[in-house]
Amino acid sequence: MKKILSLVAAVMLFSAASMAQASFGVGYMNPTHISLSDSNLNGLYAGFDYNIHFTDNFGVAPGVFCSYGTKTDEYTGSLGSGKLTLTELYVGVPLNLNFSFKLAPDFALVLYAGPTFSYGIQSKSKGDVKVLGIGGSTEGDLYKNTNYKPLDVLVGGGVAFDYAEMFRISFGYNYGILDRDATDNGTFNRSYLHMGVAYLF
């Protein structure tokens, strides 16, 4: 009986692998931190996913992606000027269900949705101030010096267009469902729009 179950499991794994397709993608993302005041960053992402087809049209795609975002605010006054830069680095693990259908012989439309488990590797701020010609700078790690939590869970979805089962253009949106402020003083949720291209192999 164990041999039969092992054989069935091996056949299922082989079938899943034979119907799977990996991809490497890069793109632009626009993270927004929704709190007492919004903070919009500009960033890039890159990573892999592995789409396991249950049928010709339906599958699930786990993946691993790294993303980087930054924002710089500048201000000037009668006595001087200043600049504050925020940079963040994340590792995300999406798990998207997807459904595709042919628009033409070489073109397909893909709809996808699912959760993304995200962890902040770095969130740093750097301030440069100059008053009456005298300047100075400060740096801070938001994860160590504030109540900002690195763990996040986002839900989202999007649409993609495939060409010749080789190239993909995608557009999507994710919203963070966790309040990343460890205090009760407010809420701190992260969301982002993203768009990119991918090579399927």
Is 76:46 a contact under the CB 8 Å cutoff?
Answer: no
Could you tell me the two tokens for 173?
């949106």
Q: Is residue 6 part of a domain?
A: no
Q: Which residues of 132-155 are buried (b: 16+ CB within 10 A; e: fewer)?
A: eeeeeeeeeebbeeeebeeebebe
Q: Determine the pLDDT at residue 38.
A: 55
- CB of 79 closer than 8 Å to CB of 61: no
**Would you place residue 199 in the very low, low, confident or very high pLDDT band (cuts 50, 70, 90)?**
very high
Q: Using CA atoms, how far apart are residues 31 and 47, in angstroms rounded to an integer?
A: 17
Per-residue model confidence (pLDDT) at position 39: 66
Residue 18 has pLDDT above 80, yes or no: no
**pLDDT by residue (tens digit) across 90-146?**
999 999 999 999 999 999 999 999 999 999 999 998 988 887 777 788 898 989 888
State how far the Cα of 128 lies from the Cα of 108, in Å rounded to an integer.
Answer: 49
Is it the case that residue 15 has pLDDT exceeding 70?
A: no
Q: In which domain, by residue range, is 176 found?
A: 21-200
Q: Give pLDDT tens digits for 141-169.
A: 989 888 889 999 999 999 999 999 999 99
* Number of domains into which the chain is organized: 1
Is residue 192 situated within a structural domain?
Answer: yes
Q: Domain with 193 in it: what CATH number?
A: 2.40.160.20
- 3-class secondary-structure state, position 39: strand
Q: How far is it, in rounded angstroms, from Cα 176 to Cα 75?
A: 30
pLDDT of residue 80: 78
- pLDDT for 65-89, tens place per residue? 999 999 888 878 777 788 889 899 9
Give dist(CA 96, CA 176) in Å, integer: 15
Give the SS3 label for residue 143.
helix
Note whether residue 14 is domain-resident.
no
Is residue 139 within 8 A of residue 124, CB to CB? The reply is yes
Check pLDDT > 60 for residue 8.
no
pLDDT score, position 144: 87
Indicate the DSSP class of residue 153: E
pTM of the model: 0.84
